[in-house]
Chain A
Amino acid sequence: GQQVMQIPQYQHVQEGEDFTTYCNSSTTLSNIQWYKQRPGGHPVFLIQLVKSGEVKKQKRLTFQFGEAKKNSSLHITATQTTDVGTYFCAGLSGTSYGKLTFGQGTILTVHP
Chain B
Amino acid sequence: NAGVTQTPKFQVLKTGQSMTLQCAQDMNHEYMSWYRQDPGMGLRLIHYSVGAGITDQGEVPNGYNVSRSTTEDFPLRLLSAAPSQTSVYFCASSSSGLAEVSGANVLTFGAGSRLTVL
Say if A and B assemble together.
yes
Q: Assess A99 versus B110: contact at CB under 8 Å? Given A30-B100, A43-B90, A50-B100.
A: no
Q: Which residue from chain B places its CB closest to the CB of A98 in the assembled complex? A: B94
Q: Interface digits, A3-44 against B, CB 8 Å rule (1 contact, 0 not)?
A: 000100100000000000000000000110101000001111
Q: Interface digits, B88-108 against A, CB 8 Å rule (1 contact, 0 not)?
A: 001011101111111111111
Which residues of chain B have C-beta atoms less than 8 A from A104's C-beta? Answer: 40-42
Q: Which residue from chain A places its CB closest to the CB of B51 in the assembled complex? A: A97
Compute how far the CA of A105 lies from the CA of B101 in the bound complex, rounded to whole angstroms. 25
Q: List chain A positions with a Cβ less than 8 A from chain B.
A: 1, 6, 9, 30-31, 33, 35, 41-45, 48, 50, 88, 90, 92, 94-105
Q: List chain B positions with a Cβ less than 8 A from chain A.
A: 30-31, 33, 35, 40-45, 48, 50, 58-59, 90, 92-94, 96-112
